[in-house]
A and B are shown apart, each in its own frame.
Chain A
């Protein structure tokens, strides 16, 4: 299967990429290409131009600052899952990166691409919702940031304007009492999630939940932030009973459709089970000292 013809450009700077995107409304940014190229091969996408940003080293970094862990959009999944700071301090992120597609795909696929493509079946969007991450966006008029909760607008649709590029992702800096986990069911390695749940909590030294975020993958047209479930945990100890209650609320927040991966009821049940497991693992990690 061969994609339709297109023009190929390789800008040297982000600013040049933004200009090209502004001048060519039917152009697409080529990041890792492991969602876009298959779509092009099926002719489900026929961009007039690809703007290849793989050579923009300025978009490839993982930096922990005072407030954020900031990751350049072109950082490959393989680099995320093997990053020392991510592995030691951001367990939810490393859990997620390790189950994106398969190891060969992760050698090319990028964190920014996974987020900006906004496939509701992609894994990082739910994780970004659970973290309360920010998306850093660059356009002709400069840089702006959008909360993950406002970024995922619809299936394959984000808050990015047509001539804007996602350039970085900011995750709140890990602190004492943080813990998180990602649980996913896939029929086989490389398949999209039947359903998956991202959970991130912060517990005080006496075990009271200070903050909680629960994100759901592939049970709706967008990644879903389980608001009621998350809020139900705040202000009290993260007991098994509280976790059961949140699991029920999360399953009610899911909007799955029946398909070859399972029925609506089955997927709701998975969400409840994975919310329970993710919160229990998050609790262990929060109490284990490691973030």
Chain B
């Protein structure tokens, strides 16, 4: 049963840990790198609470082995704010009440951020389709959609869309 030294970058910082092959990326992030902003929800590849960006692409980190992410650049919710300033997507979720319990929020924001990078001014239908792999049990999605629209507008006004 093999163990592997996995080296990857999370939010610009290198992390190296020896893990079993069966260690899931989400556990590497939460338990080895001790970044617990990324949540574990359903454990069955359904809910998207564990969504992180792997080399810029949103993936469900409960369905990728850490060893598969060797050498990858991972972005998590902890990496959104810069120098204490909230990212436009974080500010928009705050302003539009895009959350109630907050459990889905890290995954929802990571997916939304990637969506806006690919499609800076999505229609409502494109937003709903884009976040359809992330489940929210509180909001009915209405305010989440509004938050993504607001972040889109903020970014268009010259907020940085890196």
- Known A-B contacts A33-B63, A104-B58; A6 and B21 likewise in contact (beta carbons under 8 Å): yes
Q: Closest chain B residue to A82 by CB distance?
A: B118
- Main secondary structure on chain A at its contact with chain B? loop
Bound Cα distance from A10 to B60, whole angstroms: 21
| B48 CB contacts on chain A under 8 angstroms | 102, 104
Which of B1, B44, B45, B129 gathers most chain A CB within 10 Å?
B45
Contact A104 B1 (CB under 8 A): no
Q: Using C-beta atoms within 8 Å of the partner chain, give the interface range for chain B.
A: 20 to 34
B68 at the binding interface (Cβ < 8 Å): yes
> Chain B residues with Cβ under 8 A from A1's Cβ?
43
Residue B64, interface by CB 8 Å: yes
Would A34 and B1 count as touching, CB distance under 8 A?
no
Q: Return the contact of A103 from the options B46, B68, B130 (Cβ within 8 A).
A: B130
A104 and B133 form a contact (CB under 8 A): yes
Q: Kindly identify, within residues 166 to 218 of chain A, every residue whose CB is under 8 Å from any CB belonging to chain B.
A: 189-190
Question: Which residues on the B side are within 8 Å of A40 (C-beta)?
Answer: 22
List A contacts of B59 (CB < 8 A). Answer: 104, 107-108
B45 touches A38 (CB 8 A): yes
Q: Count how many chain A residues have C-beta atoms less than 8 Å from C-beta atoms of the other chain.
A: 27
Bound form: Cα–Cα A101–B47 in Å: 12
Contact of B51 with A by CB under 8 A:
yes
- Is B76's beta carbon under 8 Å from chain A? no
Report chain A residues within 8 Å CB of B133: 101-105, 189-190
**Residues of B80-120 contacting chain A, CB below 8 A:** 111
How far apart sit A33 and B27, CA to CA, in the bound complex (Å)? 17
Minimum Cβ distance to chain B for residue A246 (Å):
31
Q: Is A287 an interface residue (CB 8 A)?
A: no
Q: Is the CB of B134 within 8 A of A5?
A: no
- B62–chain A nearest beta-carbon distance, Å: 8
Residues A50 and B130 in contact, CB atoms below 8 Å apart: no
Most buried by B among A7, A50, A52, A104: A104
Within B35-57, which residues are at the interface with A (CB < 8 Å)?
43-46, 48, 51, 57
Judge whether A6 and B22 touch: CB under 8 Å: yes
Residue of A with least CB distance to B132? A189
Instruction: For the complex, give the distance between the alpha carbons of A50 and B64 in Å.
Output: 13
Chain B residues positioned under 8 Å from A6 (CB to CB): 1-2, 21-22
5 contacts between A and B (CB under 8 A): A8-B65, A34-B63, A103-B130, A104-B59, A108-B60
Which 8 pairs across A and B sit closest by C-beta, in order of nearness?
A102-B133, A104-B133, A8-B21, A5-B1, A189-B132, A7-B2, A3-B22, A37-B63
